Structure formats: C-alpha cells, structure tokens
Structure 1
C-alpha cells in the first residue's frame, strides 16, 4: 500500500488539551483572532506568548519518524495553510492509506452523518475513506489533544481506522509527497519561525503552496487597530 504522510503543525501545540476553539479557516481567523486573544489575556495580566508554545516532542519528531518510514530520496514537502489540502493531495497521489499527525481526527464530528457535508477541514480524512479513495486511515494524535478515539466509535466501526502512537507508525511505501499544514487558526503566529525551522529540520526540499507570512507585532500596532481587534468576534 502506498501512503501519504500528512502533518498538522497543531500536533505539537502544548495548549491543545485546553483549546476548544472552532473556526472557519479564513484570513481573519488565521490572523486577527490571535490579537484579540492576546489583548484579552493581557488585560488579565497574562502573556499568552509565554504560555502557549510547542512541546519538546518537536525536537525528536523527524528522527523518530525516519526510523520507521522508508522515505524515498526524492521526497518533497508541500506546505499549505489548511489540512483540507491533504484530501486533494491523497487523491492526486493515488495513495491507499493516510497517516495523519494531528490534534484532531478530521473524520467529521457528526458520526456517519458527517459524510453528508461537503469536504472541509474537519472531515477531509473521513470523506477520503467514506468515498473509497483510500482503504485505511491512521490517526496519530498529538500529545496534547483533547480528543479520544471513542468519540468516533460509529465511524471507527464502519471503516478501517487505526489510532497509533508515533513509535507505532510503520510505513514501507510512502508516496513522494509529505504534506505539512500550518493550520493558523489553531497554531499561534509567534510560533511561525519555529514552524519553518521544523520544515527545514526534515532535510527535504519543500514548496510553499499558499502559506502567507504573519507579521506578529502586538507592540507595533496602533490604538485603533487594537480596538478593532478587541471588538472582533
């Protein structure tokens, strides 16, 4: 079986176990809501940039993954903003299975009724297996997820879905594309430099498809901008 390896950057976010945000993936939520959250917490005497970070697991990720995945010499990374792009990549590459590293299952959150909706960032993996485009879905939850496999028991019983740890991942025939998404609605902008460092640490060539730079500068914005951010949402 050929497989797509896809990695959501929020897999490493150490605040995901208390994160209950659900957002439409648009430029406003990728950028603007972070300022609102920052100033809301600052007014309570909390600097969230000191408390919301990536976990130490990020430092050993590639070494552990490469032990059990037979990456090809010409492997290339595609960088996208949304995990939704994994759906298109999996179809284009003609893979039989997906290994998804994420803080979210992306199977859909309405049981089997999830598949009545169009493909989106919350159901792309479920839609792949429901539509028969892949035969197997492997979910590797991030260490800080607040989800549990039991939440998807209806889907789990109907399809070949496995829940693995990083050490349990075995893949002899990965496709030549590795997909990494930033998921900026959930991944803080002050961690973007660490995100790019993570990409470089892979040792693979990469292509940025649609990720836009976020200029995180809460001390450099005007009062009018700050008020606008505070009123957002």
Structure 2
C-alpha cells in the first residue's frame, strides 16, 4: 500500500517578515542568518533577545498551532518523529516503517520550501553530485526517490511573490488555506527549527508535540536539549548585574 509522510516545521507558526509575513516595527530584528548547528540554536537567542529588549519590543510568540492536527487523517499506528533540524526528514523513508519504495506523497508545512536554494547549488544535478542532505534541501532526497511533493506555506505569508521562490525541482507550492490533503498519513515528522523559532517558544512546542495524535519518537542521532536555556532570564540577570570591573559582557 502507498504510504504518505507529513512534515511540519515549527516555524510555520512563527510569523516572520523576512519569510513573507507582514512588516512589523523593527522588522530588521528578524534578519537572521541561516544556521543549523547546536551552538547556534542554543546560544544565539541570547543575543537576539537583547536586541528585542533594547528597542522595547514584546517578544514574538508562535500563533495558530492550536487544533492544527485536527484537520489531518493520521494513521492510528503512526509515529511522530521529532528533532531540531528538518534535515532528518530526508533520511526518513517507508523502509523505516517496514514498507518499501518511496513515499507516495510528502506534504510539507513550512515557512521555507526546503527544495534546494540556488545560492547553494545551481541545479538538481549539481546537488546530486554533491550528495549532501541538509535542512535546506532534504526534499530533494524524496524527489530523487520518486515521491510526489507538496509545499504549504503558512497563512501569515502575504503572497507567493515575496519572497520569490526558485526551488531546484518542480514542486507544487501554495499558501495554506486551512484544508487538508485527502490522504492518510502513515508517519509524521516534526522539526523544532531552533535557528528560526526562539527558545522562549519551547513551551509552546511541547504542547504542540503532545497534541499530535501519534506516538512521539525522538530521532536518536539528533542532539536534543529541550527546553533550551532560558535566555530571557539570562538577559534579565545580565542587566541586573551590569558591567563589573574585570568582567567583559559579550553578546553570546
């Protein structure tokens, strides 16, 4: 029987002007570099929280995730695999569940399409020659294996023109309208997306994972620290202590 994979990136619920969300005051605070390493996702938020606090801007939170799972038909035998990076979704195949062949469909709900970006590779063939699966191109592995792909951008994205998308492969891309594919999903993959979603939203992620009607399974190869360090408390402590003689306060 054909099997289907549902992939959800947590940044789907974190409105970001730089990913096509509506502009906000101090939109420049969201101009974050792409990074996927453990040090980045755990420590860089201290620098970022200080910048929000410096301009007196309330810390943004995730929105719209309540009831998200209710629209989907998820097999009662399904597992929800979770990790920090979406790269691990490129290593998940029906064979992990005792099946064979490609997924029939891979549906991705994400603020980014993860189908390869031309600042990294000029073509799908160039990516194949390199052979590296990362958070920015893992969908290519499923395309190569023969799966049909669909990308759903978050409803807070204002249009498909900003930013303009240019994936390395042909793939259907739409802005989510609240409907759901008329298929049953045999597995779910949930990415915390720690480089894009603040650590002060980790409590919301816990609620979202717990609400998924599938058995949670942590990707064993993934380095997982959850919740991450409380950078809000760390920033407040740093302000209360202030600069001290012989002590250099850094941004990280």
Band of TM-score, shorter chain: 0.7 to 0.9
Q: 1:204 to 1:178 in 2, by over 3 A?
A: same
Answer yes or no: is 1:39 the counterpart of 2:50. Answer: yes
Q: What is the Cα deviation at residue 9 of structure 1?
A: 0.5
User: Normalising by the residue count of structure 2, what TM-score does the alignment of the two structures yield?
Assistant: 0.74
Partner residue in 1 for 2:249 = 227
Partner residue in 2 for 1:135 = 147
Point out the more displaced range, 32-41 or 165-174.
165-174
Q: What is the Cα deviation at residue 226 of structure 1?
A: 8.3
**Residues in 1 aligned to 2:242 and 2:146: alpha-carbon distance in whole angstroms:** 50
**Residues in 2 aligned to 1:60 and 1:73: alpha-carbon distance in whole angstroms:** 18
Deviations 1:109-159 (A, max 9, x none): 118724324221111113421x2x133111011223478375227633xxx
User: Normalising by the residue count of structure 1, what TM-score does the alignment of the two structures yield?
Assistant: 0.80
Partner residue in 2 for 1:169 = 180
Partner residue in 2 for 1:215 = 229
Instruction: Provide the aligned C-alpha RMSD in A.
Output: 2.7
Deviations 1:50-98 (A, max 9, x none): 341112x2113112x23xx2x2112211111100111101364441220
Partner residue in 2 for 1:8 = 9
Q: 1:81 to 1:137 in 2, by over 3 A?
A: same
Aligned length: 215
Structure with bigger gyration radius: 2
State the secondary structure of the residue aligned to 2:169: helix
Partner residue in 2 for 1:88 = 91
Q: 1:113 aligns with which of 94, 97, 122?
A: 122
More helix by share: 1
Partners of 1:104 and 1:145 within 8 A in 2: no
Partner residue in 2 for 1:197 = 207
